[in-house]
Structure 1
């Protein structure tokens, strides 16, 4: 497992550095406009895209066939991609939540509830995106699964662009379901737990798909 993670780490450094730059840009923009939901959620989507991109590179280089000759099981191959996604999403959640905490403290408007909402939002979006996309790629491959994968990306982006105009950091300006989520962080925590459960269920599903797939 460590070898698979190390291989993916080197591939991230070589092929996915543009994603890191985009995440950095959106992260900085979210600090300037903390209420923009799209600025907060899109970096989490990019964390999920990293694992999908690495699977595409693996398939292109025929790494999957070569890996069959090595002492790694297909379960370990799947689990390594999910573990990588988890580490990226969890790390991003912590970093952005800490950054918003620091900026809020400097501005004198620190709000622990808002910081918790940021953490849960990034955590939930990232894990939900990975939970939906990765099983399709493990079942059909990067080429056949590309259409479904792109459709999921479009749905996520359209949804968060539409909600991006709401200032989620200002509870007083919200109404209806948005106010409920902003005023009651327990709902965001529950949402994060549900996303984590879906992520684990997705990993088991991907294991089954990949075990039966002909390479």
Structure 2
């Protein structure tokens, strides 16, 4: 497992300059408009999408065919993609948090001495990891099924679907007179780790089922 994760990290280092440049560009676009919170979310999602690049490298090198003749289980290979996705999400929130705080403090949108702003940013960082991991894990089964190039065209639909479902649920609740009060938001926040865990388990099972039937 460790070797599989290191493989993806070493491969992705070749694209780090382009990724860091893109994140710096978004720094100047996002900070003046949305502050550190918006930048953290942006970094998390952009970094999570690097998992697609790892699949592209694997396809170009025909890695999966080679891996099947090595003492590597298909379960470990699939699981490693979810682990590396989590690593990318964590890198995104740390990178976004550090630069977001610095940039927002310079323009006066973040006050270092404000405890409430630190608490809010921490909550945003946790939400950024959860959202980016949720969306990234949705793409992984598509990558195993269709490959990196075809999956890229389906990513937008995959991202829009949960957003539309959440919006539909929100307006449905409003039509029944159910408002998202602080207590409801707190409840959703408390159960979100369990939902994310169940979602990840489902995406892993789907991905493993697809990869298990693949022939090389």
Common topology (TM > 0.5): yes
Aligned to 1:135: 141
Shift of 1:70: 1.5
Aligned to 2:51: 51
Shift of 1:101: 6.4
- Within a 5 Å distance, the mapping from 1:97-176 to structure 2 comes to 97=97, 103=105, 104-106=110-112, 108=114, 110-152=116-158, 155=160
| Alpha-carbon distance in structure 2 between the residues aligned to 1:146 and 1:30 | 24
- Within a 5 Å distance, the mapping from 1:173-192 to structure 2 comes to 177=180, 180=181, 184=185, 187-192=188-193
Change (3 A) 1:150 1:7: same
CA contact (8 A) 2:37 2:100 kept: no
Across the aligned residues of Structure 1 and Structure 2, the Cα RMSD in angstroms comes to 3.3
Determine helix, strand or coil for the equivalent of 2:158.
Answer: helix
What is the TM-score when the length of structure 1 is the normalising length? 0.72
CA contact (8 A) 1:100 1:115 kept: no
Aligned to 1:93: 93
Determine helix, strand or coil for the equivalent of 1:70.
Answer: coil
| Alpha-carbon distance in structure 1 between the residues aligned to 2:27 and 2:41 | 10
Shift of 1:85: 0.7
CA contact (8 A) 2:55 2:148 kept: yes
Give structure 1 stretches of 5+ with no counterpart: 160-175
| Alpha-carbon distance in structure 2 between the residues aligned to 1:116 and 1:193 | 19
Aligned residues: 195
Change (3 A) 1:187 1:117: farther
Determine helix, strand or coil for the equivalent of 1:145.
Answer: helix
Change (3 A) 1:27 1:188: farther
> Who wins on radius of gyration, i.e. which is larger?
2
Aligned to 1:213: 214
**1:50-94 CA-partner distances (Å, limit 9, x unpaired):** 111110221122111111121111111111111111112123334
Aligned to 2:84: 84
Deviating more after overlay: 201-210 vs 85-94: 85-94
Change (3 A) 1:34 1:147: closer
| Alpha-carbon distance in structure 2 between the residues aligned to 1:184 and 1:92 | 25
Aligned to 1:171: none
Aligned to 1:17: 17
Give structure 2 stretches of 5+ with no counterpart: 165-178
| Alpha-carbon distance in structure 2 between the residues aligned to 1:96 and 1:199 | 24
Shift of 1:185: 5.2
CA contact (8 A) 1:121 1:192 kept: no
Shift of 1:147: 2.4
Determine helix, strand or coil for the equivalent of 1:106.
Answer: coil
Change (3 A) 1:78 1:20: farther
